[in-house]
Amino acid sequence: MKNRKPIYIIITLVFAIGFYIYDNYLVENKAPKIEVSEKSNQESSTVDLTPTSTTNQLVKHKYYSLSYHEKYEQAEWVAYELKKEQITSQNFKRPYFIFDSKVTTKSAHYKNYSNSGYDKGHLCPAADMKFSEDAFNETFLTSNISPQNHDFNSGIWNRLEQKTRYWAQRYDKLYIITGGVLTNNLKTIGSEKVAVPNYFYKIILDNSEPEIKAIAFLIPHEESEKGLYQFVVSIDEIERLTGIDFFPALPNELENKLEQSSSYSNWSLR
């Protein structure tokens, strides 16, 4: 009988290479998940945190996802995960804003903002993505911006973004959803009529044990020196204004608890 050892070696190598390709190239990137513990049996399951899209134009980038609303030429929401170890102060050269090639209806041109009197306001902040130059550059897609008054953008909105990074460091990992409230009869800018929201919102989920909690902010698009706590609302209120279900895959009991609450007692708002 001939020695079959070389055949077995070849078969083993084929399987090994196959598993390597599967693990490293064929597994599709998915939306962030949350571990939810069911107290009744202490079993854990993963839940997709992607909000619903009212436009059915869901775009998944490497570092964030968004739902693009062609009527208003911007995202109705942008969502991403921010971890403690990703908070860094390293600097990268700011790139030019460019089209988002994944938006099938084409995202608005940055020139709509020229001489408009409005900033190109990031929804997923570039400062949240300084852990990687690729991540930083990805925030400069025009699908990730909305017209913002400069005093609002550099003022209370910037304070909220800084507070969010502080919370990411304190609570290890957050899931963040941001957008403008898009309604009829909004002011527009540019030839493509990019809508200027009257309100912006930010929803923050802390999915760390021992207590899962969430907080939501709804802020008028204007300069303000008020404390952030004065703009805390329930997630349910933002859902009523936008028509978006922000955590549709969470267990109903947990979803209702998180979305009905407008308490900020478990969050430091100093």
Per-residue pLDDT of the chain (270 residues; tens, 9 = 90+): 445 555 555 554 544 444 444 333 333 334 455 444 444 333 334 678 999 999 999 999 999 999 999 999 999 999 999 999 999 988 999 999 999 999 999 999 999 999 999 999 999 999 999 999 999 999 999 999 999 999 999 999 999 999 999 999 999 999 999 999 999 999 999 999 999 999 999 999 998 777 899 999 999 999 999 999 999 999 999 999 999 999 999 999 999 999 999 989 889 776
- Judging by DSSP bridges, how do beta strands 74-83 and 65-69 pair with one another? antiparallel
Domain ranges of the chain: 31-260
Which of 61, 69, 122, 221 is an active site residue? 122
Residues 6+ apart with CB under 8 A from 147: 113, 116, 118, 119, 120, 121, 189, 194, 195, 196, 197
d(CA 126, CA 166) in angstroms, rounded, equals 15
CA distances from 152 to 6, 42, 146, 149, 164 (A): 70, 45, 12, 5, 17
d(CA 200, CA 83) in angstroms, rounded, equals 23
Q: Is 221 a catalytic residue?
A: no
User: In the structure encoding, which two tokens stand for residue 81, read together?
Assistant: 């995960």
Please give the span between the terminal C-alpha atoms of the chain, in angstroms, as a whole number. 80
The DSSP letter of residue 206 is E
What fold does the segment set 31-260 form as a domain? Extracellular Endonuclease; Chain A (3.40.570)
pTM, two decimals, is 0.84
Q: Is 182 helix (H, G, I), strand (E, B) or coil?
A: coil
